[in-house]
Amino acid sequence: VICQFPVYQSLYEVARSIGCEVSPWELRQTAKGWEFDLSLLERLIRPETRLLVINNPNNPTGYLIDNGELLEIAALADRKGIFVFSDEVYRGLELSEETPKQRAFADICENSLSLGVMSKSYGLAGLRIGWIASHAKDIMESMTRYKHYTTICNSAPSEYLAERALECKEKILARNAEIIKNNITLAESLLLPTGLIRLNRPEAGPIAFNEYLGGDVDAFCEELLEETGVLLLPGSVYDFPGNYFRMGYGRSGFEEGLQRLKSFLTG
């Protein structure tokens, strides 16, 4: 298994738990922001490689693989006979009008699966509703049989509310993207003057992988939580080197937490 890295932990730990060997396809930070090296991905592929896991938009960096790169990944996967699992739970939250809407990977690659949920981009976690899309009928049938032994069926009220939300999809996504953009602007105005935080603006989604410039990031996050109640996740949680920490921009009422963080940095 090859997995984007850093990434939401379950995307690789579940594979490890059943005995798979996981190779990380690591993001790198450049002057232009976060980037993936497609040539590195090709070098990671071995004869026994069976699965590529991507998370687009990426949690925790906010990096977005553009549609051209998605086509390159699809072509590579087809050529090498590799199935692609695409976690797209933050799809639809592109933060620039100049950024084309992300395509579902299942739309461009036969041998793949796209995952979506109501809990992330739509902010409706309580519904516990999600979906998968794939042209691979054998995979879909296998997953359906497995579901019959686990959750069996969804909550009918949750399905009804999810359908109503999807009917208002564009309005909900635009509202949530606006909250994120406003919170990013607020964070820049409050935190950049401290000189202790480098803000790495996300391309899509509510999450960014920022940097602490004042020392050990693990100690910083622990002390911040103990003294202010503000929780930031250090990069060590993702087994990623450097002084990075994950920061979320998706909530309304964001300013209070930012003010506490600023006071901690300048106190």
Name the percent of the chain lying above pLDDT 90. 96
What residue spans in the chain does CATH classification 3.40.640.10 cover? 2-167
Mean of the pLDDT values across residues 224-229? 98
- Residue 31: pLDDT above 90? no
Neighbours of 119 (CB within 10 A): 15
Write down the pLDDT at residue 143.
95
Write down the pLDDT at residue 157.
98
The CATH code of domain 170-266 reads 3.90.1150.10
Mean of the pLDDT values across residues 49-60? 98
Cβ distance 52 to 84 under 8 Å? yes
User: What b-and-e string marks burial along 218-252, b requiring 16 or more CB atoms within 10 Å of the CB?
Assistant: eebbeebeeeeebebbbbeebebeebbbbbbbbee
pLDDT tens per residue, range 159-191: 999 999 999 999 999 999 999 999 999 999 999
What residue spans in the chain does CATH classification 3.90.1150.10 cover? 170-266
Write down the pLDDT at residue 20.
97
Residue 32 pLDDT grade (very low, low, confident, very high; cuts 50, 70, 90):
confident
Write down the pLDDT at residue 245.
98
Give the up-direction half-sphere exposure of residue 247: CA atoms within 13 A in the CB hemisphere: 28
256/253 Cα distance (integer angstroms)? 7
Domain 2-167 grouped into CATH 3.40.50.150? no
pLDDT tens per residue, range 89-139: 999 999 999 999 999 999 999 999 999 999 999 999 999 999 999 999 999
